Amino acid sequence: DGEIVGRTTSGMWSYVMGTCLAMGYLEHPDGVTKEFLESGTFEIEVAGERIPANAQFGSFYPASTRVKM
Predicted pLDDT at 49: 92
| Tens of each residue's pLDDT in the chain, 69 residues | 778 888 999 999 989 889 888 888 888 888 888 888 888 888 998 888 998 988 887 766 667 666 676
Closest CA to 1 of 25, 31, 28: 28
Alpha carbon distance 50, 30 (integer Å): 25
Which domains, ranges and CATH numbers included, belong to the chain? 1-69 (2.40.30)
- Please state the length of the chain: 69
Predicted pLDDT at 37: 85
Predicted pLDDT at 60: 66
Angle at 39 between CA 25 and CA 20, to 5 degrees: 45
